Structure 1
Amino acid sequence: MNRTNTAHAKDAVLTQAFVERHYGFLGSFKLHCHALGWDLVRSPTNVALAPLFLLVRLAALILRGVGFRRMSSWLSSRRVFFRSSVSRAVEASIWAEVMEERCEPLSQTTPHQKRLVEEYADVRNAISEIFTSVMFLCVGLIVFETATPGVVSMAPIVSDVARTTAASESFLFGQRLGSVWYGVFPPEVPLWFVVSIGFALAAGASIVTTFAGVIADPLQAVTGVHKRRIMRLIRALDENFDDPPKLAREHILARFSDLTDAGVSLVRTLRP
């Protein structure tokens, strides 16, 4: 169904009002209050399931490309992520404040339309992961003067620093001479220690990811990203009822960050 310019302008006004109400700093803070509870478990679980989500969607795209449209639609409709309380709140607000204002009540929508709105909420999770990766990268560059785009690449560096600091403090001739000694002859770092640091960093990263939207949402609101994403959602609801949800580039970028993290760690491990 083709939308008139007047309808498009109305959608833009509704969308902008929604963004200002929910994705400003105060609105985003209120939204993320829903994360206090089981979302602290769901969010890290969803991060762990993200590679599986990408594989399922890629398989659906391949099946569609070779002509297995029914199987592709079935696979793309499988829900991989756990629905977080924040995502539910976002979906409910979208329906109540944007879609129903356009005379599209939830009771009259199709399962495919509902899935599109769920997909929109899932994209916000991917943005939180990307934001967390950027934070890891910044911390690595500022504190350790090296690129650390994630837990995998940061854990060995933090382990080395922690082990060297502990060894220097217990050095026979004092901490200052210990720092010099272990700067030349680094202490051995056991694998279990690196793994323990990795788990601790992963736990911290999961909490950061859960609440990253408090900062990421206002930034996206100011730059117009949120508005454009909701307008894309509206167009998809209006025009693409028979198409499966597309694989959002945010999911691809989040997984690219993971691959970069693993790649940086591998290069450092193999470097003599």
Structure 2
Amino acid sequence: MDQRAAPVLCAIDDCIEKFTADRKQTISPFIERHFSVSETIQIQKRHLPLDLILSPVNALWSIPYLMIKKAVETSDKIGWPVLNPLMDVLPASFKTGYQKDIEKLIATELVSEDVLMDYIRKDPVLGPMVVSGAIELDQRKIRTEVLKEIEKYTSSQAMISDVCSSLLTLAAGWIYFGDKSLGVMGLGSRFARKMAREKASSNFFLGEKVGSVFYGVFPPAPTNTQIVMATLAVGALLTVCSLFVSVMIDPARKRFGMHDKKLHSLVDNLEERLFIALKKDLKSHLRQPAPMKQAG
């Protein structure tokens, strides 16, 4: 089995190296095509309704997720790894339409498994073996490995946007109320109380200035309607700001070379992942006895 496997594994390694080298040549053109301001806006426009909902949800989720992740990592370091599977279940964020489009573009234009299969079919060792059926390559398994690495890449990129959105929310609470711990609900409640106080002060029988002092000591309680409306208004405003951040962040990463570095890392990681997966697959296949040739 080892004698049969050695040249095949060397050929697989060679094909994957050619594939990754070829794909690295396409990274710069890919970034130029898809991470400009105009292209980012065009992609975002196609998914605006869905992303208007998911953007604040992800912003709210990003900080609790990071806290959970840190707790799980700490638990693992002290010798209690029972919580580790939790990170396989919890999503880092909920995919926006923009994120899904970027994943699709990377999968089809940058690291398509079809390109790797072309190298394999053209290889002098592997090509004839694939055609004759002497070895079988599971293209679905290759695609699974590609998609796993792409999802890892886009999740880390999306996390940056979500954290920025969360920081924007916290900054708004600090600027307006001097409180660095307010979320969307907290901001909505504070704004509702402020509006209730201003409305009551303007209707005070001794005048607005005296009313402002009086209701500063005895603040009126806002109605549930005021709280809901204020929270919705705050959420809508922060969502618009979050979308603006998400539109601008990819061109900013492009400007500072962050996309180039991350996509090169994606291809490097994929090279290792593909070799391990295909090596395991081929060794399993080659353990099977070679088919007996029938006498002609």
- TM-score normalised by the chain length of structure 2: 0.60
Letter of the structure 2 residue corresponding to residue 222 of structure 1: R
Q: Which residue of 2 aligns with 1:189?
A: 221
Q: Which has the larger radius of gyration?
A: 2
Structure-2 change in CA distance of 1:232 and 1:102 (3 Å): farther
Identify the match of residue 76 of structure 1 among 88, 108, 117: 88
Paired with 1:166 and 1:47, the residues of 2 have a C-alpha distance of 32
Is it true that 1:176 corresponds to 2:209 in the alignment?
yes
Query: The residue matched to 1:16 in structure 2 has which SS?
Result: helix
> Match of 1:34, as an amino acid?
R
Task: Please state how far the C-alpha of 1:187 moved relative to its aligned partner.
Answer: 0.7
SS in 2 for 1:172: coil
**Tell me, which stretches of 5 or more residues in structure 2 are unaligned?**
1-12, 118-138, 278-296
CA contact (8 A) 2:27 2:260 kept: yes
Give the C-alpha shift of residue 176 in structure 1.
Answer: 2.8
Does the 8 A contact of 1:60 with 1:75 survive in 2? no
Residues 44/137 of structure 1: CA separation in 2 closer, same or farther (3 Å cut): closer
Among 67, 78, 100, which residue is 1:88 paired with?
A: 100
Greater CA drift, 165-174 or 135-144: 135-144
CA offset digits 1:207-247 (Å, max 9, x no partner): 5445531122222222222222222222221123569xxxx
From 177, 180, 199, the counterpart of 1:166: 199
Q: Which amino acid is the alignment partner of residue 227 of structure 1?
A: D
Does the Cα contact within 8 Å between 2:113 and 2:146 map onto a contact in 1?
A: no
CA contact 1:43–1:210 (8 Å) conserved in 2: yes
Q: CA deviation at 1:124?
A: 3.5
92, 96, 113: which one aligns with 2:146: 113
The partner residue of 1:222 within 255, 274, 278 is 255
Distance 2:98 2:33 in 1: 15
Q: Does 1:24 align with 2:36?
A: yes
Distance in structure 2 (CA, Å) of the matches to 1:149 and 1:230: 35
1:268 maps to none
Residue deviations 1:8-46 (CA, integer Å, cap 9, x gap) = 6972x5333323332222121112112223333444555
The TM-score with structure 1 as length reference comes to 0.64
The CA distance in 1 between the partners of 2:271 and 2:34, in whole Å, is 23
Return 5+ residue gaps in structure 1 as ranges.
244-272
- How far apart in 1 are the matches of 2:106 and 2:208? 58
CA distance, structure 1, for counterparts of residue 87 and residue 175 of structure 2 = 43
| Kept in 1: contact 2:23–2:110 (CA 8 A) | no
**Residue 115 of structure 2 is aligned with which of 103, 115, 124?**
103
Aligned to 2:50: 38
User: Over residues 162-218 of structure 1, what are the superposed CA-to-partner deviations in whole Å (9 max), with x where a residue is unaligned?
Assistant: 2222222222122233223333x1414358455664454345434544553112222
1:122 and 2:155 are equivalent in the alignment: yes
Contact 2:153 2:266 in 1 (8 A): yes
Retained in 1: the 8 A contact 2:31–2:260? yes
Instruction: From the superposition, tell whether residues 118 and 61 of structure 1 become closer, same or farther in structure 2 (CA, over 3 Å).
Output: farther
Sequence identity, in percent? Answer: 22
Counterparts of 2:219 and 2:90 in 1: how far apart (Å)? 49
Measured on the aligned residues, the alpha-carbon RMSD in Å equals 4.4
- CA deviations over 1:99-123 (Å, ceiling 9, x no partner): 2499347977331321221232233
For the structure 1 residues 217 and 81, does the alpha-carbon distance in structure 2 shift closer, same or farther, using more than 3 Å as the test? closer
Q: Are the structure 2 counterparts of residues 14 and 212 from structure 1 closer, same or farther at C-alpha, using a change threshold of 3 Å?
A: same
Shift in alpha-carbon separation, 1:10–1:91, aligned structure 2, 3 A: closer
The offset of 1:94, in angstroms, is 1.0
Q: Distance in 1 between matches of 2:168 and 2:94?
A: 24
Could you tell me how far apart the structure 2 residues matched to 1:57 and 1:148 are? 19
